Amino acid sequence: MNYRPLGRTPWKVSDISFGAWAIGGAWGNVSDDESLAALNQAIDSGVNFIDTADVYGDGRSERLIAQLKKSRKEEIVVATKAGRRLPKQTVEGYSRENLNAWIDRSLKNLSTDSLDLVQLHCPPTELYNRAEVFGMLDDLVKAGKVRYYGVSVEKVEEALKAIEYPNVQTVQIIFNCFRQKPADTFFARAKEKRVGILARVPLASGMLTGKLRADSQFDSNDHRNFNRHGEHFDVGETFSGVDYKTGLEAVEELRKLVPAGTSMTQFALRWILMFDAVTCAIPGGKRPDQVAENCKASDLPALSQDAMGKVKGIYEGRVKELVQERW
Ligand SMILES: NC(=O)c1ccc[n+]([C@@H]2O[C@H](COP(=O)([O-])OP(=O)(O)OC[C@H]3O[C@@H](n4cnc5c(N)ncnc54)[C@H](OP(=O)(O)O)[C@@H]3O)[C@@H](O)[C@H]2O)c1
């Protein structure tokens, strides 16, 4: 496992880290035992950074991470998120009272007296014009309840705006073979500002593992079933906003580029790590075998320039027009 500095924080974190949404919910049924086994596998593989949110399984994911931390001696940095407990996303909802209540709840779930990193959880675009909300986060840092804060965004424009606030340490954004815009329009500025970048949805919700088929079925409580068209939250979070058929076709093109001895999943993750502005990819893992496979991507040799060019070509030929303007 390799480690990269997390922005201006004191931490160096594993470049393949752990996304803890699926172990909370919205990805079909998961058992706590298996989720804990997946988390333990991550630590055994060298992961030292976990991304979660207060809403993943309504706190289930945070509580499992607290359990993991109690049972392990390694230092584990935990990033959580706040904002999605609002019944409806409004700028006014990001009040001091609500923020304090969300943070207190996460402190309890994570069984700690200070949160390592809190990210605003895809707030409305207008929020990035409200300096007072970032002031409230500064106050939470002063009060010792939060060590560092950052944002999780839907759009590149939001990311660029967020990093103009001087204490924003990290930006979490969708970045994968199907979502290449951040590399062209955001990474250079983030590097200048020494902001950490967490590449989320790195496997396009499992599509980039190469295992999905036209007739693959998803449980009714899996967002790949219930949010196919953005019925419940931003459609970009499900298969990166690429329609299922186009995604499968692009995967068949990408598959031809995967070197022998490397899985398609590892290829997709190694592609992300080719960008030095990225701090880490945070693949979601539900089972220990998935986590072990994902972590091995860290130590793979660099992809060839030829392969990088071809991935770009596949994006430009098949996917770009579906996503580039939207996010
Ligand atoms: N708004 C936000 O801030 C936001 C939104 C989305 C995600 N996130 C964060 O980003 C993390 C990652 O994104 P994501 O979980 O949405 O998508 P992802 O990492 O692209 O895909 C994760 C899913 O792919 C499958 N998978 C993972 N490793 C695999 C392997 N080695 N082989 C086969 N299948 C594998 C698993 O599902 P199956 O086994 O069921 O196929 C897993 O749940 C989340 O966990 C969360 O921490 C944040």
The residue among 205, 196, 202 whose CA lies nearest residue 149 is 196
Nearest-angstrom CA–CA distance, 38 and 319: 32
Q: How confident is the model at residue 280, as a pLDDT?
A: 98
What is the pLDDT tens value at each position of the chain, 327 positions in all? 999 999 999 999 999 999 999 999 999 999 999 999 999 999 999 999 999 999 999 999 999 999 999 999 999 999 999 999 999 999 999 999 999 999 999 999 999 999 999 999 999 999 999 999 999 999 999 999 999 999 999 999 999 999 999 999 999 999 999 999 999 999 999 999 999 999 999 999 999 999 999 999 999 999 999 999 999 999 999 999 999 999 999 999 999 999 999 999 999 999 999 999 999 999 999 999 999 999 999 999 999 999 999 999 999 999 999 999 999
Cβ of 314: how many Cβ atoms within 10 Å? 20
Nearest-angstrom CA–CA distance, 123 and 94: 9
H-helix segments, the chain: 32-44, 60-71, 96-109, 131-142, 156-162, 181-185, 187-192, 223-226, 244-255, 264-273, 288-295, 305-314, 320-323
Pairing mode, if any, of strands 280-281 and 196-200? parallel
Q: Which ligand 1 atom sits nearest the alpha carbon of residue 200?
A: 10
CA of 294 to the centre of ligand 1 (A): 11
The residue among 159, 205, 194 whose CA lies nearest residue 19 is 205
Tokens of 95: 């009040």
CA of 131 to the centre of ligand 1 (A): 32
Tokens of 14: 């594993």
Q: Quote the distance between the C-alpha of residue 113 and its chain's center.
A: 24
**Ligand 1: residues whose CB is within 6 Å?**
19-22, 27-28, 51, 81, 121-122, 152, 172, 200-206, 209, 211, 237, 265, 282-286, 290, 293-294
Cβ within 8 Å of residue 262, ≥6 positions away: 270, 300
Cα–Cα distance list, 76 to 44, 71, 287 (Å): 12, 11, 19
Q: How confident is the model at residue 258, as a pLDDT?
A: 98
Residue minimizing CA distance to atom 11 of ligand 1: 19
Q: Which ligand 1 atom sits nearest the alpha carbon of residue 84?
A: 1
Pairing mode, if any, of strands 196-200 and 12-14? unpaired
CA of 143 to the centre of ligand 1 (A): 33
Tokens of 159: 């990311």
The residue among 15, 321, 18 whose CA lies nearest residue 180 is 321
Nearest-angstrom CA–CA distance, 272 and 258: 14
Q: How confident is the model at residue 9, as a pLDDT?
A: 98
C-beta of residue 25 within 8 angstroms of C-beta of residue 227: no
Nearest-angstrom CA–CA distance, 291 and 56: 19
Q: How confident is the model at residue 206, as a pLDDT?
A: 98
Q: Which ligand 1 atom sits nearest the alpha carbon of residue 234?
A: 1
